[in-house]
Amino acid sequence: MKHSFTRFLKIAGFWLIALICAPGEKGWAQNNAGIKGTVVDDQQEPLAGVNVKLQKAGMVDSTGTATNEKGMFVFEGLTPGTTYNLTFTHIGYEVQQRNIHVKQNETNSMLVRLKAGSSGLDEVVIVGYGSQKKINLTGAVDQVGGEVLGDRPMPNISRGLQGVIPNLNIVMTDGKPTRSPAYNVRGVTSIGTGGSALVLIDGVAGDPNLLNPNDVQSVTVLKDAASAAVYGARGSFGVVLITTKSANKGKVQVNFNSSYTVNQKTVDPKIVNDGYEWTQDFVDAYNSWYDYKSPPTTINGILPYTPAYLDSLKARSLDPSLPKVTVDPATGKYLYYGSTDWYHELYRNSSPAFDNSISVSGSNNNASFYISGRYYNQGGVFRYSSDDFKRYNLRMKGDIKLAPWFTLTNNLDFNTYKYFYPVVNGGSPVWRYMDVSAVPMAVMFNPDGTLTPSSYQSVGDMYTGNNNQITKQLYVRNTTSFNASLIKNVLSLKGDFSYAYTNNSIDGKFYPVSYSEGPGKIGPNTVNKLKKTTGVTAYYATNLYAEAKKDFGDHAVKLLGGVNIEDSRYDSTYVERDGLLDPSLPNLNLLNGQNYVTGAGGNEWSIAGFFYRLNYAFRNKYLLEINGRYDGSSKFPSYSRFGFFPSVSAGWVVSKEPFMSFADNWLDNLKLRVSAGSLGNGQIQPYTFMSLMPVSLNKNMAINGAFPSYVRAPKVLPDGLTWETATTYDGGIDMTFLHNRLNVSFDYYQRYTKHMYTASQPLPAVFGAAVPYGNFSDLKTNGWELSANWRDNINDNLSYNIGVVLSDYKAYITRYNNPNGILPYGNNAPSATNAGTYYKGERLGEIWGFETDGFLTQDDIDKKAIDQSYIVVSNSNVPLPGDLKFKDLNDDKAINIGKGTMADHGDLKVIGNSNPRYMFGVNLGMTWKTISFSAFIQGIGHRDWWPGLEAGAFWGQYNRPYESVPAYMMKNVWREDNQNAYFPRYRGYVALSGTRELAVQQTRYLQNAAYARLKNINVTWSLPKKWASLVKMTSAKLYVTGQNLFTITPMHKYAANFDPEVIDGADPEVKADAGNGYAYPMLKSYSVGVNLTF
């Protein structure tokens, strides 16, 4: 590994030196007839790097150049008396075409203005192993330019891509700066293994969250099997292609972008902080659960409780001058009478972030280079031992023309970050302990300055700084590629080789934290350990492919064929041990404890594929594309290691038909598209199809002074294992109206995922091994997506644009190995044995539950018309008025789940669905002279959410009597004088587990988690060009921007302490469940920055 990394650095250094030493720019030739001009953007700023193609009218052959840093281009030595066609293309801008007639001894000048946007019919779109004009696409492809990320300070690009492209679903599980969300294309893809989209950065698999957002040139999403076919098994569920910026043509150009950001939490938790009020609620919840027969004697073992203690709290609520801490003469322990806002102790009001990027680029006729760097520093949200995040990016990219027909390119990417993250109680999430230990009566410090039991169990570790995890990552990737034009404009050969090295490490240190229960009474704390986790990945990839293209009159043919080979090896180690001799020296060699854990793991895999693509167009009106890939993967058994996956797509440009001439004045383009294809799913873990026998140590016994090893029974695999296959059928329509002002695209698709790798039906315990897995399941997904954009100029100084994207999908199980039809009824079952179960016909995301019918009255209890004993309401299960009432849906006079099957599910029914519906994004923009404004709104039209069993931030003391109480809850609790309340009679433990009253899923407390969020708003002022030129700048911008500033959601009526965007998933580093409210908060931000180009 070390040798490979050293070799890689030598290669990268060689190419960097070669690019720097490239020959200088040659002067322009002097001839008699020519064309010159300048290309500018909407704000009259010069555009560098615009591709300009020159073609004689009626001829096939063409030549080209690119604009320099001043947006200028020139063609000389042209034939006088000839008409030339010029085509101007630039990613992220609409295509412009001009015709010009040149004369003898005359150089024609022109000014070309390109409009930002992706509506141009001739826009160049990045596709697999190449590019195509948008008008010639037949697959489901969407592309956005890097401007969607421009001047938006953010830790990674995923946050900037949310809602921008229809059916590109990016779900954030929390607001951590290190979080790397999965990219999903077109909804649920598989219940087996894999299911995420393949993300390629400059053609090589990578993590998009490692990118410098300022380096992104474009993002393309290949959605259907036809467009993703050339990527084979790794692209079975969509492909995201990210292209980074290259050098601008002309002399050296420097760009500097710097911003300062203030971050705040999107949701500031509101809980009851008054000690007397909270304790009253605690007593009420505790007594109610125990049927008023067993009053509390302690508060979660932290504080003693007596009625006299409650009286003392009341006295202090009436007279705040009374001391907040006293000593109990009987026990010598402290008694607390405070009203502490523990979230104020946990969080800062705001935290800063700094983002600084610089890039340098330049080129001449023989070489070009692009070098960029970024330093991003985000301060943490925690008040003590704040979680600071620092990231460094470096990219060096360039090419050199070794011959007129041969170009060599090198692309080096370096990324590293360090994240300091405080933890509590040996690595647990702080939010859980805030919920159960940080009671408001306690205070932060005792009179002697020591921590109290409550502060010790919540934020005490942070205050002392003794417990934290430091996460580091180093990522280096180099790609060397060549482009050989064997026959100009007809045949080319391209190839690349990439090596990527990733080193991840987590160092955790957990030292004792001192606290006292009374004067001289130091509490016990035995946590004293270190742990270290490392993971190293070495990845190699090679691509070699040829492309031939030729026009034959009305016929245009393009053929692509090539090979792709990838290899990856991953190694990991884990060490944990207690007994640190010196806390000031956190070194694994200074541990002598007897409690230790060690482990190592790893995997390796290889894939190889042969791919082809054939494009045919007749008069650019009838379009056909045929794709295929023959894939092989080491992750599969030898008898099914290879598979062939074909696809086909076709398009009809209806607007070019003679019978559509009546619409020429208002219809620019009308194209119909269809596609069908199959792809194998190669996104499975290595060794999935192997029967492994894990070896472990038995630490419960010792033989001759050593722990013996034992081998567990291997998993059993059925015969005939094969590829999971996703077959997609897609139909789409693209329309452009009113001279490219209005663009509309719509797609409808069906995807059939067959042979998913899932569990077989349950087997008897005497089987002796885990349930075998195989190709036992099938899935069907239906969906659609719509995008519409309007762009217009009111006058030369004022323009505006409006864009909308909307998508939806539903997924159904069409086959599953569940012959008894057992339902996945989750919390409603006496045990969790059915978790993860599916049944044929199930719509994924279904939430099964009871239908709530208000509250029980005394009359309901006396009549006993319906037996609700299945629902537990107290320790003795004695119902009282104000407890919940449920509907008897099967008229058997009892509330139950029957046998928990499709044939007999008692009173259960489908009450909601957790999968999102109607995902949308709205983009608004306006430019007036040198001032531009943009706003982006993102959201979900419908989604149901059931709070988890441990969602203390929602259930409060209904979950446990000693938990925190949401501030809005107590006004909505059933009491004799408040019988129209939202929550039932106040009882503790009824949301805890099993079939307790609030643990069972039901209609009343199902939350509507739809939302609309103002994701971004930006105001930019561009310095007039003549002013910028005075200080040798080609452009200067000052911008003010905000992220996640405002959210509308019905969920906040009864779940105001939750952010609707982060109610799924968990933090694997501290095992914090976001759905329970135990997650790093999402952040809103306010930024000011400058963007300068020299």
Write the pLDDT tens digit of every residue in 276-298. 999 999 999 999 999 999 999 99
Quick one: pLDDT at residue 906? 94
Region 80-98: mean pLDDT is 81
Query: For residues 254 and 544, what is the distance between their CA atoms, to the nearest angstrom?
Result: 34
Whose tokens are 């509101």? That residue is 270
pLDDT band at 6 (very low <50, low <70, confident <90, very high): very low
pLDDT score of 830:
37
How many other CB atoms sit within 10 Å of the CB of residue 835? 11
Residue 1 pLDDT grade (very low, low, confident, very high; cuts 50, 70, 90):
very low
Query: Residue 464 has which token pair?
Result: 């002392």
Q: Flag the least confident range among 536-550, 716-730, 1056-1070.
A: 1056-1070
Report pLDDT digits (tens) over 298-352. Answer: 999 888 999 999 999 999 999 999 999 999 998 999 999 999 999 999 999 999 9
Percent of all residues in the chain with a pLDDT value above 70, rounded to a whole number: 93
- Calculate what percentage of the chain has a pLDDT beyond 90: 55
Written as six digits, the tokens of 329 are 């003469």
pLDDT of 586-604, one tens digit each?
888 888 888 888 888 999 9
Tokens of residue 908, six digits: 């259960």
Q: How many angstroms from the chain centroid is the CA of residue 206?
A: 14
Q: What is the DSSP letter of 508?
A: E
Task: Write the CA distances from 1070 to 506, 580, 664, 1048, 1074, integer angstroms.
Answer: 12, 22, 61, 30, 11
Under 8 Å between Cβ of 461 and 422 = yes
What integer pLDDT is reported at residue 248 of this predicted model?
76
Token representation of residue 609: 């594929």
Dist CA 854 CA 981 (whole Å)? 10
Q: Is the pLDDT of residue 542 over 70?
A: yes
Query: In this structure, what token pair is assigned to residue 655?
Result: 């607007």
What is the four-CA torsion angle of 197, 201, 204, 206, rounded to 10 degrees?
Answer: -60
Report the distance separating Cα 455 and Cα 670, nearest Å: 66
Does 26 or 335 have the greater pLDDT score?
Answer: 335
pLDDT tens digits, one per residue of 976-1027: 999 999 999 999 999 988 899 999 999 999 999 999 999 999 999 998 877 8
Q: Are 486 and 454 in contact (CB under 8 A)?
A: no
Q: Is the pLDDT of residue 803 over 70?
A: yes
Query: Hunting for tokens 């561009």 — which residue is that?
Result: 1022
What three-state secondary structure class fits 322? coil
Q: Mean of the per-residue pLDDT values for the chain?
A: 87
Distance in angstroms (rounded) separating the CA atoms of residues 336 and 333: 10
Over 80: is that where the pLDDT of 704 sits? no
Establish if 329 belongs to a structural domain.
no
Q: What is the pLDDT of residue 346?
A: 93
* pLDDT tier, 11 (very low <50, low <70, confident <90, very high otherwise): very low
pTM of the model: 0.85
pLDDT at 710: 79
Going by pLDDT thresholds of 50, 70 and 90, the confidence category of residue 1038 is very high
Confidence (pLDDT) at 831: 36
Kindly indicate the confidence band of residue 200, based on its pLDDT and cuts at 50, 70 and 90: very high
Q: Which residues of 865-890 are buried (b: 16+ CB within 10 A; e: fewer)?
A: ebebebbbbbeeeebbebbbbbbbeb
pLDDT top residue among 513 and 654? 654
Task: Find all residues with CB under 8 Å of 222, minimum gap 6, and list them.
Answer: 127, 128, 139, 140, 141, 228, 231, 235, 238, 239, 240, 241
- CATH number assigned to the domain comprising residue 93: 2.60.40.1120
Q: Which residue has the higher pLDDT, 7 or 296?
A: 296
Of residues 45 and 735, more confidence is placed in 735
The amino acid that residue 143 corresponds to is: Q
Amino acid code (one letter) for 822: I
Q: How confident is the model at residue 33 (pLDDT cuts 50, 70, 90)?
A: confident
Examine the pLDDT at 83 and tell me if it is beyond 90: no
pLDDT greater than 60 at residue 1061: yes
Instruction: Note whether 1002 and 884 are within 8 A (CB).
Output: yes
**Residue 49 placed within a domain:** yes
Residue 50 domain-assigned?
yes
- For 749, residues 6+ apart whose C-beta sits below 8 A from its C-beta are 140, 186, 223, 224, 728, 729, 730, 731, 781, 782, 783, 784
Domain housing 67: 34-116
**pLDDT category, 134, cuts 50, 70, 90?**
confident
832 pLDDT above the threshold of 50: no
| Domain-embedded: residue 142 | no
Split into its structural domains, the chain has a count of: 1
Per-residue pLDDT, 873: 96
Q: What pLDDT, on a 0 to 100 scale, did the predictor assign at position 829?
A: 44
**Domain contains 246:** no
- Mean pLDDT across 780-804: 92
| pLDDT of res. 773 | 81
d(C-alpha 506, C-alpha 521), whole Å: 35
Per-residue pLDDT tens digits for 215-259 = 999 999 999 888 998 998 888 889 999 999 988 777 789 999 999
- Compare 288 and 1032 and report the one with higher pLDDT: 288
Q: Calculate the dihedral angle through the C-alpha atoms of 1023, 1026, 1028, 1031, rounding to the nearest 10 degrees.
A: -150
Q: How far is CA 215 from the centre of its chain?
A: 19
Angle between helices 275-289 and 307-318 (to 10 degrees): 150
Q: How confident is the model at residue 495 (pLDDT cuts 50, 70, 90)?
A: very high
Residue 62 has pLDDT above 60, yes or no: yes
Q: Compute the distance between CA of residue 397 and CA of residue 296 in angstroms, rounded to an integer.
A: 69
Full 3-state SS string of 238-305: CEEEEEECCCCCCCCEEEEEEEEEEEEECCCCCECCCHHHHHHHHHHHHHHHCCCCCCCCEECCCEEC
When mean pLDDT is compared across 205-209, 582-586, 877-881, the lowest value belongs to 582-586
Q: How far apart are the first and last CA of the chain?
A: 41
What is the mean pLDDT of the segment spanning 1069-1080?
Answer: 71
pLDDT reported for residue 823: 85
* Average pLDDT value for residue range 914-926: 95
Residues 6+ apart with CB under 8 A from 134: 118, 120, 121, 122, 123, 124, 125, 143
Which pLDDT band, with edges at 50, 70 and 90, does 415 fall under?
very high
Residue whose entry in the numeric block shows the structure tokens 């993971």: 535
